[in-house]
Chain A
Amino acid sequence: MKKKNIDGSILTLWIMIAVVLIAMAILKPGTFYKMTNLRSMIFQFPEYGIMALGMMLAMISGGIDLSLVGIANLSGIVAAKIMIGMGGEPVSIAIGIMAALAVGAVCGCFNGFMIGYLKVPAMLVTLCGLQLYTGIGLGITTGPALTGLPDSYKYFANGSIGQIPVVLFIFIAVVAVIYFIMNFTVYGQQVRFMGSNDEAARYSGINNLKVTIMTYMISGILGSISGVLITSHFNSAKADYGSSYTLLTLLIVVLGGIHPDGGRGNVGGVVLSILLLQLVAQAFNILQIDPTGNMKTFVYGALLIIVLCANVLKGKKKKAKK
């Protein structure tokens, strides 16, 4: 699906990435371009990057998924509970991860059902979902973090093969799968059609309910993969990890050229946008202008608004030309 306007936003992303890279080459070439720094960046972004892909799917379908963080934590908690309960055997890790993915799928199906069948607005469903899934997680853990996970579990988020972190492979694999789904499967086209115009999709014989449930299920599974990585990263599971990721993932997808009205956008833009934000965050760290991380929140918010406004203005200009 090649489209000119998307190429435009991808070009902008490349330029912005280049600007950050050049700026850092001038300001802190020694620290920024070191292997340790690159590695530390790679360890960070897959967690929320995978989540952002879920947000992307929901938004392309014409909805939104604000429950991703809740799903991530709940899946992590369920996995942790199973692993701890089974005494940390290697097989328990496999079962734990499978269970986590199942939790993500079930939560996603619930979202999809409420949205597609009961026709409750996606925003409301997933906002409720966030509360519900976090609530279940909180109920299971009774509050404090679950610790005592098997040592080998840490490997997913913290281990490396040679110099390359394992999470990078996981991230690339997930991106490849989602890319394939979005571009080379019937579902991938149907979800775009539904996001463009759900009425016309129905009249074209697309089963909107099925596509909606599918979308939120995949989104939920992506949330749970991210949950596995988060628990592995912290070596513990808790109901309120990663609470800032909701905004971050939204920012990523909007910045990556996904249209909030649905239908438009692609995986490439989102991946670039993930990289860009990680670069910005790391640059902030190295320049030591943001010890508390609050400046980052501020800049993210500002970026989100500026990018959206710029898109709107660009759209207006295009129309005026016609």
Chain B
Amino acid sequence: MKNKSIKDVLTSTEMINVYIIVALSMVIGSINSNFLSVATVITLSRAIMVTMIFALGEMLVIVSGGIDVSFPAVACAALFVPIKLMVDNGINNVWFAFGLAIIIGLVFGALNATLTAVVKLPPLIATLGVSSLINGGMLAFFGSKEISNLPKAVDAISQKFLFTYTAPTGATYSLTVLFLIPVILCIGVALMLKYTMLGRGIYAIGGDQNAARIAGFNVVRIKYFVYMFAGAITGLGAMCYCILCRTANPKNLMGSEMMVIAAIVVGGTRISGGHGKVIGTVLGVVLVGLIQNNLIMAGVPAYWQKFVVGLVIVLGTSITSLKAKKIAQSAKV
């Protein structure tokens, strides 16, 4: 066997995602001719960009062998607390908003890391507890009223566009400048995972934590990095969300963990850790976003969407698990 055979490439999880995305697009396109257009691409890009940012952080955590269900709560805190402080104290500075959002993410990331890496609690339960802690605490101490008058400097970003496309119908579609953030993050994380020892260390501890320790990786430090980095980009993503919505809502994002984890798993990341690629996650997010945002176009009523998304996720996770099972049982070379 030399290099990867064509068959391996064609049956990889990434390619399966591509097939499904193409097939789904054709189905929706054949039902609704408006679908196959530049406008759809722009709308979809905008719709999935925040999920994409969250998914990147979560993917790192899962690859390292953990899981983090606290990020929606972290995101809510990271968007609401800075805006609240700015509005109450008359601060009008974009850097403050983003900076504080990232710091909040870092702090809670550090808390997650401490609980999972140092105290060694099961990550799911630990982060669930942290989620409740943050969400309850923030609503109790900072209030739960949505803030719709964002500070001017922050709100202004929502009107900065990379480009604007005018459809034949005359409607205009603009892509926000914030879209650069997930793009840069994706490239950065992909390079980090592939070409730095830190990135390889994340895979190593996800594959076999004990072996990683013996080999000389600082397991605790890598976990701190993973959870804190995930926290930081969650903060960043949350502020983007806030700007895109042009309002700071302290609970809208709660419950989004399901979609994000699903997109990651559909994208080929193994929930047990050690396996996962940025490109797979991007495809997974696009696929789930496509289903979530365009089923209406295909004639599926809005109230059946959750079910259809659930079905896709069940299929996606089953395929990934069955593949892993098959590899485990296959003949060894």
Contact = CB atoms under 8 A, between A and B. Distances in A.
Interface residues of A, number: 46
A304 interface: yes
A118 B306 contact: no
Interface in B252-267: 255, 258, 261-262, 265
Interface string B139-160: 1100010000000000000000
A151 B305 CA distance: 32
Interface residues of B, number: 47
Provide the main secondary structure of the chain A interface: helix
B125 A138 contact: no
Given A138-B304, A141-B303, A128 B133 contact: no
Contacts of B301: 139, 142
Given A118-B318, A123-B271, A292-B139, A131 B313 contact: yes
Nearest to B259: A131
B303 A132 contact: no
A305 B121 CA distance: 9
A138 B304 CA distance: 7
Given A123-B271, A127-B258, A135-B308, A118 B321 contact: yes
A313 to B, nearest CB: 8
Contact of A247 (B132, B139, B140, B314): B132
Interface in B294-313: 301-311, 313
Nearest to B121: A308
Interface in B119-135: 119-122, 124-126, 128-135
B321 A305 contact: no
Interface in A260-312: 260-261, 290, 292, 294-302, 304-305, 308-309, 312
Nearest to B132: A301
A251 B130 CA distance: 12
Interface of A: 64, 114, 118-121, 123-125, 127-128, 130-136, 138-139, 141-143, 243, 247, 250-251, 254, 260-261, 290, 292, 294-302, 304-305, 308-309, 312
24 contacts: A127-B261, A128-B310, A131-B309, A131-B313, A132-B314, A136-B307, A138-B306, A139-B307, A290-B140, A292-B139, A297-B135, A297-B140, A301-B130, A301-B131, A301-B132, A301-B134, A301-B136, A304-B125, A305-B121, A305-B129, A305-B130, A308-B125, A308-B129, A309-B119
Given A294-B135, A308-B121, 14 more contacts: A118-B325, A134-B310, A135-B305, A136-B307, A251-B132, A260-B125, A292-B139, A294-B139, A295-B136, A301-B129, A301-B136, A305-B126, A308-B129, A309-B115
Interface of B: 67, 115, 119-122, 124-126, 128-137, 139-140, 144, 255, 258, 261-262, 265, 271-272, 301-311, 313-314, 317-318, 321-322, 325
